[in-house]
């Protein structure tokens, strides 16, 4: 039996017809930028997350950069986040010129150790980025309490957590700004790059909408006013109407070209209706694993939140051997993450050393993801359980 970590080909078979119809619609319309499907997809995400604004962008990394810039975060500022994450979280902080400040993680759920956040706050701290790692929600109430007390912004990096919820509220609606990625391997994957920003703030939405299109035109002027504390009408204007408008050649701020591709919007609209059932399937697989895997540590279920199980990550004392054993039996695995952020070469200048954030270092040597995706059949889940359980530690 050959079992991949993710089955995008199998998924495509389910959505092929709709995807092709929707892509063809874009091609026929010749409306390739800021078109109607972008707008429709943003509306769908707004209602899915229960949020006032959803803004399509080019990818999840840009979403983080735009979020930080919209909050006015840059040189001289510090942003607290988890060391056990995908590089883009930390990269975005450094990209805007701010300093990433890394916090260790919980050994059970792999998320930021909330009890270690406050000791990292200085007069330069501006924000906390909470990453819902592997789809499992952070304790947002606790994080928001700390942020409020210390007058910090909170950003959710929800790249891995679309469809997850915390105390009945959708992930992406629990902070000042949340960011999503539609990288093909994410739970809602495009057929290329894509991203989304959600926020309840009209002002932040206006700034982000301007920033993603060079900060030009009337949105750019409004964003300039907002970023400089000048009060004016701040409602953002429809980008679609700016495509052929002379206004777009008047520039006010340095922005980006970071739009969600119209063809990717067509793909995402076709796949969104499946998301909840796919996440449910992942949950069912995870529950089987929680109940039936032994000899390896695995994430427990959490009664205050619902995870979309972007990845199902176990811990093994003999990771390399277990990976080899599973590979021999046709089961693909992946290591997330082999090097925590504070020990990455790129962040050497920050002065961290081995032993500084011990839980993340412990996990980086032991974690591996096993297939838990929505296309698995019952007998495959059983096969994986058998093969993990039959592994004898040396
Ligand atoms: C995937 C991911 C990103 C980046 O998203 P891209 O769309 O690939 O740019 C950011 N943060 C986390 C935690 C991710 O998993």
- Among 6, 65, 157, 188, name the best residue to mutate to test ligand 1's pocket (greatest count of ligand atoms within 8 A of Cβ): 157
Q: Could you identify the atom of ligand 1 that is nearest to the CA of residue 194?
A: 7
State the residue for tokens 């081995």: 354
Omega before residue 155 within 30° of 0, cis: no
Q: Check pocket membership of 26 for ligand 1, CB cut-off 6 A.
A: no
Least confident of 114-128, 208-222, 263-277: 208-222
Residues 302, 315: Cα–Cα separation, whole Å:
18
Q: What is the dihedral of CA 297, 343, 307, 315, to 10 degrees?
A: -10
302: DSSP letter: -
Q: Check pocket membership of 99 for ligand 1, CB cut-off 6 A.
A: no
User: For residue 235, what pLDDT is reported?
Assistant: 76
Nearest-5° angle of CA 384, CA 303, CA 177?
A: 100
Q: Check pocket membership of 61 for ligand 1, CB cut-off 6 A.
A: yes
User: For residue 354, what pLDDT is reported?
Assistant: 98
User: For residue 218, what pLDDT is reported?
Assistant: 85
Higher-pLDDT residue of 33 and 247 is 33
Residue of 370, 339, 337, 271 whose CA lies nearest to 133: 337
Residues 36, 169: Cα–Cα separation, whole Å:
28
Residues 194, 371: Cα–Cα separation, whole Å:
24
Q: Check pocket membership of 160 for ligand 1, CB cut-off 6 A.
A: yes
Residue of 78, 60, 77, 41 whose CA lies nearest to 178: 60
CA of 354 to the centre of ligand 1 (A): 25
Phi-psi region of 172 (alpha: psi -120 to 50; beta: other; left: phi over 0): left
User: For residue 81, what pLDDT is reported?
Assistant: 98
Q: Could you identify the atom of ligand 1 that is nearest to the CA of residue 63?
A: 9
Name the token pair of 161. 């957590």
Nearest-5° angle of CA 138, CA 139, CA 144?
A: 110
CA of 60 to the centre of ligand 1 (A): 5
CA of 88 to the centre of ligand 1 (A): 6
Q: Could you identify the atom of ligand 1 that is nearest to the CA of residue 61?
A: 9
In degrees rounded to 5, what are phi and psi of residue 30? 60, 20
User: Residue 393's pLDDT band (boundaries 50, 70, 90)?
Assistant: low
pLDDT tens-digit series, residues 229-278: 887 776 777 776 666 677 778 888 999 999 999 999 999 999 999 999 99
The average pLDDT across 217-240 equals 83
Name the token pair of 114. 């909330």
Q: Could you identify the atom of ligand 1 that is nearest to the CA of residue 131?
A: 13
138: DSSP letter: P
Q: Check pocket membership of 181 for ligand 1, CB cut-off 6 A.
A: yes
- Strand runs labelled E in 41-181: 53-57, 78-82, 99-103, 125-131, 153-157, 165-166, 169-170, 177-181
pLDDT tens-digit series, residues 36-87: 999 999 999 999 999 999 999 999 999 999 999 999 999 999 999 999 999 9
Q: Could you identify the atom of ligand 1 that is nearest to the CA of residue 64?
A: 10
Residue of 181, 179, 171, 228 whose CA lies nearest to 203: 228
pLDDT tens-digit series, residues 130-158: 999 999 999 999 999 999 999 999 999 99
User: For residue 286, what pLDDT is reported?
Assistant: 96
Name the token pair of 386. 């058998």
Name the token pair of 272. 């969104």
State the residue for tokens 């204007």: 237
First to last CA, the chain: 25
Residue of 140, 165, 135, 180 whose CA lies nearest to 308: 135
- pLDDT greater than 90 at residue 118: yes
**What is the distance, to the nearest Å, from the Cα of residue 248 to the centroid of all Cα atoms in its chain?**
31
The protein residue with its alpha carbon nearest to ligand 1, atom 2, reads: 159
- The answer to whether 116 and 287 are in contact (CB under 8 A) is no
pLDDT tens-digit series, residues 327-367: 999 999 999 999 999 999 999 999 999 999 999 999 999 99
Q: Check pocket membership of 206 for ligand 1, CB cut-off 6 A.
A: no
Mean pLDDT of the chain: 95
Residues 9, 12: Cα–Cα separation, whole Å:
5
User: For residue 394, what pLDDT is reported?
Assistant: 57
Q: What is the 3-state secondary structure (H, E, C) of 159-210?
A: CCCCCCEECCEECCCCCCEEEEECCCCCCCCCCCCCEEEEECCHHHHHHHHH
Residue of 293, 280, 315 whose CA lies nearest to 381: 293
Name the token pair of 73. 């975060």
In degrees rounded to 5, what are phi and psi of residue 112? -50, 135
In degrees rounded to 5, what are phi and psi of residue 230? -95, 125
Higher-pLDDT residue of 132 and 296 is 132
User: For residue 301, what pLDDT is reported?
Assistant: 66
Whether the model pTM is above 0.85: yes
Q: Which residues pair with 368 in a beta bridge?
A: 314
pLDDT tens-digit series, residues 153-206: 999 999 999 999 999 999 999 999 999 999 999 999 999 999 999 999 999 999
3-state percent helix, strand, coil for the chain, nearest multiple of 5: 45, 15, 40
């Amino acid at each position: 039996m050959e079992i991949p970590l993710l089955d995008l080909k199998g998924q495509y078979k389910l959505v092929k017809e709709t995807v092709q119809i929707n892509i063809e619609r874009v091609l026929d319309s010749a409306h390739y930028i800021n078109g109607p499907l972008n707008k429709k997809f943003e509306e769908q995400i707004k209602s899915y997350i229960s949020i006032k604004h959803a803004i399509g962008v080019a990818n999840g990394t840009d979403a983080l950069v735009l979020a930080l810039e919209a909050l006015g975060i840059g040189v001289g500022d510090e942003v607290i986040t988890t060391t056990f994450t995908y590089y883009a979280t930390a990269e975005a902080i450094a990209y805007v010129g701010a300093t990433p400040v890394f916090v260790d993680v919980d050994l059970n759920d792999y998320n930021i150790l909330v009890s270690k956040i406050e000791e990292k706050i200085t007069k330069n701290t501006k924000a906390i980025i909470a990453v819902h790692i592997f789809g499992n929600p952070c304790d947002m109430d606790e994080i928001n309490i700390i942020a409020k007390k210390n007058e910090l912004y909170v950003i959710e990096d929800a790249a891995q957590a679309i469809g997850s919820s915390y105390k009945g509220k959708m992930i992406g609606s629990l902070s000042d700004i949340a960011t999503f990625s539609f990288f093909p391997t994410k739970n809602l994957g495009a057929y290329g790059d894509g991203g989304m920003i959600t926020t309840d703030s009209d002002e932040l939405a206006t700034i982000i909408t301007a920033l993603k299109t060079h900060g030009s035109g009337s949105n750019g002027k409004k964003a300039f006013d907002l970023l400089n504390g000048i009060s004016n009408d701040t409602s953002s204007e429809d980008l679609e109407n700016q495509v052929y408008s002379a206004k777009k050649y008047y520039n006010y701020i340095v922005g980006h070209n970071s739009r969600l591709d119209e063809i990717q919007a067509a793909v995402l609209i076709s796949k969104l209706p499946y998301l909840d059932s796919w996440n449910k399937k992942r949950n069912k697989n995870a529950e089987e694993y929680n109940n039936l895997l032994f000899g390896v540590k695995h994430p427990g279920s959490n009664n205050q939140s619902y995870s979309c199980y972007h990845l199902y990550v176990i811990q093994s004392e003999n990771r390399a051997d277990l990976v080899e054993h599973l590979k021999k039996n046709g089961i693909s695995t992946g290591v997330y993450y082999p090097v925590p952020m504070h020990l990455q070469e790129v962040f050497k200048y920050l002065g961290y050393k081995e032993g500084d954030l011990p839980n993340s270092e412990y996990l980086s040597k032991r974690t591996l993801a096993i297939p838990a995706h929505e296309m698995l059949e019952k007998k495959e889940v059983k096969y994986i359980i058998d093969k993990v359980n039959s592994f004898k530690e040396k």
